Amino acid sequence: MNKVVSIEIAGQVFSTDEEAYEVLHAYLKKIHVQLSAEEEAADILNDIELRIAELLYAFRSDDKKAISIEQVNEVIEQVGFIDSDIEAIETPRRFFLDQQNKIIAGVCAGLAMRFRVPAFIVRLIFLLLTPLAGLGIILYLVFWMSFDSNTSRNAVLAAQGKAQTAKSIAAVGGKSEGAAHQIQRIIFLPFSLIGALFTVIANHFRKRSGGYLRIMKNIVAFVLLGFATTACIIMYAAFNARVFPTLIALLLFIAAMYLVVLGLAIYFRDYYLSNPHFQIARRLKVGAVIPAGMLVATMFFLLNAWDVYQQETIERSYPLAGNLLNLQFIEDRPLDTAYGSVRISMKTSDSPGNQVRIAVDYSGYGFNAANAEENLRNVEYVYALNGNTLELNEFWSLSEGELSRGQRVNVLIEVPQNVAVRSLWPLVINRDGSPYIYSVGHSYYDDGGTYLASGEYFHEVDAGFRDRLSENERVVLQDKFCEEFYISEYRNCRYHIQMPVQRNYQFDRAFQEDLETIEQVRTYLLPNRSLFVSNLYEVNDLIQNLSVNLTAMSEFQEYLLYLAEVKLNPQLL
């Protein structure tokens, strides 16, 4: 007795044995898998089903019996598999990704098929190799990228080294959905999820690859154009910097331009445009070696040319008549040779007398000490002291035809005590100097003024500053405050003066009890408020009322009182 089932195939209804149905079902499923690489799989499958229906119809018309397993086998034998007319070809054993039994990408299953061992063992080996510096994962990725994907049954047989006949194809993969595989699917579920995720992402990129490629090409093109523009600017700057004699600089400029243009042309022709209209001759590409060689040689030459650093200071003293020094600045910049700006700074002199000391510091590089010295001597810098007026050039320049080798000029002016300096450029205190050094520099929103050299400071003494403290004076005040109430690394306090005393962990805990008073002092020093001389007395009062009894006057307090004194009685001319 046999159970009979009704099946519909290509719009026709047949009754078959249950056994025959199972065989037919499995066969169609295999055909489906085999066709999965084909583009028009659905159409072809329909045709094949139609053919099967036709053949089965011939059986049905003979008698009224249900279709038997023998008849189904006959049909399968006749229809066969795609491309299965290749008879008994011995194929080499090959590695494939096994799509049927895969957990992630089918690497382990593919290896297992090739070596004819259970896939579970291969998977375990990969898992055990993973703690060894991720060896398992690395090997997996390497195999994944190097194996072909196995979508057709023929490939499976190729992996097993078997002949590809209709029967052998039908026999493959029958046990793939066994219980053991099901258990493995559960055990390796996290891995299979990772695999699914990768597949989804990969499919997305494969389908949209055209769009992404276009976006990437546009981005790369923009970046390249940006680079080229930058390169041209750098080349132009280098050309003007007099690092080389004019002729060599011109040759290098041409060489670099050639490389930039050629690189852009190759990219836009070969990778950006899909249908380029012109060809880039091979000779031009090979020719790029010469300019590239020139530029590399230049690099090595320059590295050597910047090898040794030399410095030379020329110091001169001039007696000053009277108590006023006028500082004037001129912009004398030659057009045909290299030049640089001069760093000008000032400090007060601690020696008595009426001498203004001007130290000009030249520095530069060279192949060796002698060459470096020669290079720095090529610098031309002049200043002039006429009576009380010191005229300083803003720029230094190179002698005619000489080369630029990182030369620099610093000027330090030492002013005697109690001399007023009238400068067209403002003096800005440099916090890191000890004693303080003031840099003199051009400023768009500050016009300079009159400064009095007193102690190690320069004090603004113009009308606007009679009663009010300057920014430089506030900086010194902050420094003294930090030194007094913060532990050793007071620098940190100077740059974090905005931070409340309570929150600054460098606050000196010896003043714990007066924390609020000191916080009050700090708010006086903040840069967002004007400080008046009267404020200095208020701060002094606060300091005097501290609970810690200081035997000697603190430096902070000393400076407070000194500053108030200077502000109220400037010893002007």
Partner 1 sequence: MQAQNTITQMRRGFLEFCIVSLLANNEVYTAELIDRLKKANLLVTDGTLYPLLNRLQKAGLLQYRWEESESGPPRKYYSLTEPGRKLLNELDSAWQDINESVKLIRSGTKKLTKVQTNE
Q: How far apart are alpha carbons 46 and 42 in whole angstroms?
A: 6
Taking the complex as a whole, the smallest distance from the CB of residue 260 to partner 1 amounts, in Å, to 44
Radius of gyration (C-alpha) of the chain in whole angstroms: 45
- To which residue do tokens 């590295």 refer? 303
Quote the CA–CA distance of 573 and 571 in Å, as a whole number: 7
Residues 108-167 that bind partner 1 (CB under 8 A): 166
Q: What is the largest CA-CA distance in the chain?
A: 138
57 near partner 1, judged by CB under 8 A = yes
Pick the binder of partner 1 from 88, 132, 281, 286 (CB under 8 A): 88
Q: 83 or 555, CB closer to partner 1? A: 83
Instruction: Decide: is 43 part of the binding site for partner 1 (CB under 8 A).
Output: yes
Give the phi and the psi of residue 145 in degrees, each rounded to 5.
Answer: -75, -30
DSSP per-residue string spanning 203-263: HHHHHTHHHHHHHHHHHHHHHHHHHHHHHHHHHHHHHHTTSS-HHHHHHHHHHHHHHHHHH
Q: Is there a contact between 363 and 300 (Cβ–Cβ < 8 Å)?
A: no
Looking at 16, 33, 71, 84, which residue binds partner 1 (CB under 8 A)?
A: 84
Candidates 100, 285, 236; CA nearest to 174 is 100
> What is the distance between the alpha carbons of residues 556 and 536, in angstroms, rounded to a whole number?
11
Residue (of 385, 382, 456) closest to 417 by Cα position: 456
- Binding-site member from 2, 6, 36, 78 for partner 1 (CB under 8 A): 78
Closest CB to partner 1 among residues 9, 265: 9
Q: Is 434 in the site for partner 1 (CB under 8 A)?
A: no
Q: How far is the CB of 80 from partner 1 (least distance, A)?
A: 2
Report the distance separating Cα 494 and Cα 482, nearest Å: 6
| Of residues 44 and 257, the one with the C-beta less far from partner 1 | 44
Q: Which helix (H) or strand (E) holds 357?
A: strand 355-366
Dig out the tokens for 428 from the structure: 């800005």
Burial (0-12, 13-18, 19+ Cβ within 10 Å), 200: exposed
With CB under 8 A as the contact rule, the residue among 25, 29, 36, 58 that binds partner 1 is 58
- Choosing from 47, 350, 467, 519, the residue that interacts with partner 1 (CB under 8 A) is 47
Region of residue 571 (phi > 0: left; psi between -120 and 50: alpha; otherwise: beta): beta
The helix-helix angle for 18-34 and 153-160 (nearest 10°) equals 90
Q: Please identify, using beta-carbon distances, which residue of 50 and 69 lies nearer to partner 1.
A: 50
Q: Which of 71-79, 251-259, 360-368, 481-489 is the region at the interface with partner 1 (rule: CB under 8 A)?
A: 71-79
Task: Closer to partner 1 by CB, 71 or 454: give it.
Answer: 71
CB of 261 to partner 1, least distance (A): 40
Q: Does 432 bind partner 1 (CB under 8 A)?
A: no
Smallest separation (angstroms) from partner 1 to the CB of 57: 4
User: What SS3 state is found at 5?
Assistant: strand
Among 6, 25, 54, 137, binds partner 1 (CB under 8 A): 54
74 binds partner 1 (CB under 8 A): no
Size of the site for partner 1 (CB under 8 A): 33
Q: Which is nearer to partner 1, 72 or 104 (CB)?
A: 72
Q: Rule CB under 8 A: is residue 63 a binding residue for partner 1?
A: no
CB of 43 to partner 1, least distance (A): 5
When asked if residue 87 is in the footprint of partner 1 (CB under 8 A), the reply is yes
The residue range among 76-84, 355-363, 400-408, 501-509 that interacts with partner 1, by the rule CB under 8 A, is 76-84
Q: Measured from the CB atom, is 88 or 247 closer to partner 1? A: 88
Q: Which residue among 4, 5, 7, 10 contacts partner 1 (CB under 8 A)?
A: 10
Distances (CA, A) of 365 to 13, 236, 382, 540: 97, 22, 21, 52
61 contributes a contact to partner 1 by CB under 8 A: yes
Minimum distance from residue 17 beta carbon to partner 1 (Å) = 21
Given the complex with partner 1, which of 50 and 262 has the nearer CB atom? 50
Tally of helices (H runs) and strands (E runs) in the chain: 20, 19
Minimal distance, residue 76 CB to partner 1, in Å: 9
Cα distance between residue 234 and residue 242, in whole Å: 13
Shortest distance, position 98 Cβ to partner 1, whole Å: 22
**Near partner 1 by CB under 8 A, which window of 38-46, 96-104, 291-299, 421-429?**
38-46
Contact predicate 184/123, CB 8 Å: yes
Only one of the segments 63-71, 74-82, 423-431, 522-530 lies at the binding site for partner 1 (rule: CB under 8 A); that segment is 74-82
As a dihedral over the C-alpha atoms of residue 497, residue 503, residue 504, residue 509, rounded to 10 degrees, the angle is 120
Smallest separation, CB 58 to partner 1 (Å): 8
User: Cis bond leading into 527, ω under 30°?
Assistant: no
Q: Which is nearer to partner 1, 166 or 284 (CB)?
A: 166
Q: Which amino acid is at 115?
A: F
Considering only 6, 18, 65, 86, the residue that binds partner 1 (CB under 8 A) is 86
Residue 8 contacts partner 1 per CB under 8 A: no
Contact 375, 311 (CB under 8 A): no
Q: What's the token pair of residue 101?
A: 């039994």
Under the binding rule (CB under 8 A), the answer on residue 44 touching partner 1 is yes
At CB < 8 A and 24+ separation, what contacts does 50-58 make? 50/10, 51/79, 52/9, 52/10, 52/24, 52/79, 53/9, 53/10, 53/11, 53/12, 53/14, 55/79, 56/9, 56/12, 56/14, 57/12
Q: Is 15 in the site for partner 1 (CB under 8 A)?
A: no
- Say whether residue 89 binds partner 1 (CB under 8 A): yes
We find the least distance from the C-beta atom of residue 9 to partner 1, in angstroms, to be 9
* E strand or H helix at 498: none
Q: Does 81 bind partner 1 (CB under 8 A)?
A: yes
Per-residue interface string for the shown chain with partner 1, residues 288-327, x marking contact by CB under 8 A: ----------------------------------------
Binding site for partner 1 (CB under 8 A): 10-12, 31, 35, 38, 40, 43-44, 47-48, 50-51, 53-54, 57-58, 61, 77-90, 166
